[in-house]
Amino acid sequence: MNKVTVLGSLNVDTILRFKRFPKAGETLPLTGKSIAGGGKGANQAIAAARAGAQTTFIGKVGHDQEGDFMVKQLTDSGVDDQYVAHSDQAATGSAFILLDSSSENRILIDGGTNQQVTAADVDAAQPAIVASTFLIAQFETPLAATEHGFKLAKAAGTATILNPAPATTAVPASLLALTDLIAPNETETETLTGVHITDERSMIKAATNLQQQGVANVIITVGSHGAFWIRGTEHGFVPAYKVNAVDTTAAGDTFIGALSSVLQSDFSNLATAVRFANRASSLAVQQLGAQPSIPTKAEIQAAERA
């Protein structure tokens, strides 16, 4: 069984649903409002745990009800929370997910305690990092903590997975040098490489660029189209399953978490793992909310047999 440690964010998501965005000066009614566990880090950890990995989370919440709620979301799915720190310095992170009648979302974030994760927090979790098959990180917690975590991982022979989301910053070369697998979506890929993703040729070009920047294994996810992978000179495209999407929130997170639960540490089964991850995210998009929509291993396997 893979052991996975996720370093990252936890957010309480408030999901607002409405027919269309109001124009300037206009007032419109909501068609729905709900609260769910979210945050890219926590979503990926829950996806890994539900898909069968022994999972540990490194992150930070506030001393508030939202923090307790988020820790409960982790532990209810079997994620080890012993390295989730509590801080007085800010409130637990929150996100506002705007869903109009298209299934694409727009998200506003208040990072809160996620912004306060430090290298010292990562040091405290060194035993988990050392014992893990993979360490996974995203960009909703500070880069300095991530880079420190990846250094500890590499020194211990733990493979590193970077999901460079959201695509806000240029990634430092020093972090890419410590990354074994990078998994951006098409927007993030363009931010990192300057290559606009239109077809397989552009994916090969962008992925090769990322390899030249020091990452041996690359996955480019392209939403409802599927995912492209490259490992050394081998590459392939795995089409997505055709489903009726109601909410794409956490589809990418589900992909990363599920992938990490079945991936071999030398990445030799990348194509098979991408297929499994695609199946998991095709289930997540069919339900509302981030964490409530993340499937279990049994659900993924049942969908594979159907």
Residues tagged active-site:
253
Can you state the percent helix, strand and coil of the chain, rounding each to 5?
A: 40, 25, 35
140 binds, among Na ion, ligand RIB, none (CB under 5 to 8 A by kind): ligand RIB
Size of the chain, expressed as the number of residues it contains? 306
CA distance 111 to 94: 7
Enclosing H/E stretch for 110: strand 105-110
293 binds, among ligand RIB, Na ion, none (CB under 5 to 8 A by kind): Na ion
202 in a known ligand binding site: no
If one asks whether residue 188 binds ligand RIB (CB under 6 A), the answer comes out as no
DSSP-assigned letters across all residues of 139-174: SSS-HHHHHHHHHHHHHHT-EEEE---S--SPPPHH
Query: Looking only at Cα atoms, what is the longest distance across the chain?
Result: 56
221 in a known ligand binding site: yes
119 binds, among ligand RIB, Na ion, none (CB under 5 to 8 A by kind): none
Query: Sheet of 234-239: strands edge to edge?
Result: 80-87, 54-62, 3-7, 134-137, 159-162, 181-182, 217-222, 226-231, 234-239
Q: In terms of CB distance, is 40 or 50 closer to ligand RIB?
A: 40
**Interaxial angle between packed helices 40-50 and 251-262, expressed in degrees from 0 to 180 and rounded to the nearest 10:** 40
For residue 212, CA distances in Å to 145, 185, 229 come to: 24, 18, 15
Q: In terms of CB distance, is 67 or 252 closer to ligand RIB?
A: 252
Neighbours of 48 (CB within 10 A): 34
Site for ligand RIB in 231-260 (CB under 6 A): 249-250, 252-253
Neighbours of 151 (CB within 10 A): 17
244 in a known ligand binding site: no
Q: Which candidate, 166, 226, 148, 185, places its Cα nearest to that of 41?
A: 166
286 in a known ligand binding site: no
Site for ligand RIB in 139-178 (CB under 6 A): 140
Task: Out of 3, 13, 46, 73, point to the residue binding ligand RIB (CB under 6 A).
Answer: 13
247 binds, among Na ion, ligand RIB, none (CB under 5 to 8 A by kind): Na ion
- Print the binding letters for residues 66-85 with ligand RIB: x by CB under 6 A, - otherwise: --------------------
Task: Out of 85, 90, 107, 143, point to the residue binding ligand RIB (CB under 6 A).
Answer: 107
Chain residues binding Na ion by CB under 5 A are: 247, 249, 284, 293
* 248 close to 285: Cβ distance less than 8 angstroms: yes
For residue 154, give both structure tokens: 């590499």
15 binds, among Na ion, ligand RIB, none (CB under 5 to 8 A by kind): none
Q: In terms of CB distance, is 202 or 260 closer to ligand RIB?
A: 260
CA distance 80 to 114: 18
Task: Out of 43, 87, 217, 282, point to the residue binding ligand RIB (CB under 6 A).
Answer: 43
As annotated, the binding site includes: 11-13, 39-43, 140, 185, 221-226, 247, 249, 252-253, 278, 284, 287, 289, 293
As annotated, the binding site for ATP includes: 185, 221-226, 252-253, 278
As annotated, the binding site for substrate includes: 11-13, 39-43, 140, 253
Binding site for ligand RIB (CB under 6 A): 9, 11, 13, 38-40, 43, 95, 107, 109, 140, 249-250, 252-253, 290
